[in-house]
Structure 1
């Protein structure tokens, strides 16, 4: 496939690029600073876009002719302000350059409802506390998902719980349309693998997809 990957210098974004080129995809990696991007591969093109919201032409050029777009752009912290929603809206404005209008983005498990079968500790303590402490982050991600749902794009939002720097194992669980019950963590490598796998799963189009160990 021809893929355009935004947020390619982030921890998950690097895994996305590495795994995509490793499986034979042709990848355009969109970054703010190419000097920070050390990956080199015959099937990889690195493109600089400083601000997707302002550099609309560059965003469109980076997407032009792609089979799908993946975004590893997400909130940088509770005090930074919205990031995921404005960037995703900018990508949606350029998605006409992608014939399939296919886009896969990272969200988070607390954006969705508490899944049936979750533990009492998770329902009564963990999720309410985390959601309260990180409310600005999840508000940003909810706004992002609302923009996707209203866009007419062939979208998927992947909702992981706590992310770790563990290796790619491939033994993770997914839940289409919800959150994985009793799923408390997943590695960034497995998250990237799940995002790429969604490209071959038509049932994930127009759906959130929970992923967890």
Structure 2
């Protein structure tokens, strides 16, 4: 299987690359910085340098050509301006979906946030709220697509470490809960959940929330 990951140098993406490559899949990571190519290669993937904030649909579609799955795991970063958050956390998602449709790649996985429903909470903090607003808008674009077999994954607060191989995975819905949650989940486990979602086409059209838990990942997904 060939998987293309937008945001290929991200902490989840590098773990996902390592897991997929370790079982023999072909992984291509889209990175913005040429200095990040080596890190993707060390994880077992290949990399293409492409700035999703400025690339056109044709460029991204050429990168996706021949892929079985597209994964969007890019992000604007903690110190991003509101304008950059919109470009990366919303507009870039639309760009990759448009390119996937053009390239004939139906399977699309998106890494969102557990708190997308809390973007308008006055107590959530201005910077976090802008990030969640962009994520929420990106999800709405996803839900409107009928030419993509999409799955949305909403992780909790991301933590480093080896992961436990166990999670709590629950079905979500397009209208996210408005109560903020700050349950942690290891990035390694999020990557492993993405692998399971890639392998299970029956999860298309579904939203999942993942936090740390006690259920083995391979048993946590009910399809």
**Is TM > 0.5 for Structure 1 vs Structure 2?**
yes
- 2-structure distance, mates of 1:20, 1:98: 22
1:92 aligned onto 2:97: yes
Number of paired residues?
A: 200
2:188: which partner in 1? 189
- 2-structure distance, mates of 1:14, 1:42: 6
2:113: which partner in 1? 108
- 1-structure distance, mates of 2:65, 2:134: 27
- 2-structure distance, mates of 1:154, 1:22: 25
TM-score, with normalisation over the residues of structure 1?
0.82
- 2-structure distance, mates of 1:47, 1:134: 30
Gaps of 5+ in 2: 213-223
Question: Cα RMSD over matched residues?
Answer: 2.7
Gaps of 5+ in 1: 114-126
1:150: which partner in 2? 144
Which 4+ runs in 1 deviate beyond 6 A? none
Contact 1:74 1:106 in 2 (8 A): no
Contact 2:14 2:43 in 1 (8 A): no
- 2-structure distance, mates of 1:170, 1:183: 20
TM-score, with normalisation over the residues of structure 2?
0.79
Change (3 A) 1:63 1:100: closer
Q: Deviations over 1:39-85 (max 9, x none)?
A: 43696321111235533222111110111001111242375221211
Contact 2:155 2:190 in 1 (8 A): yes
Change (3 A) 1:197 1:98: farther
Change (3 A) 1:128 1:158: farther
- 1-structure distance, mates of 2:187, 2:193: 10
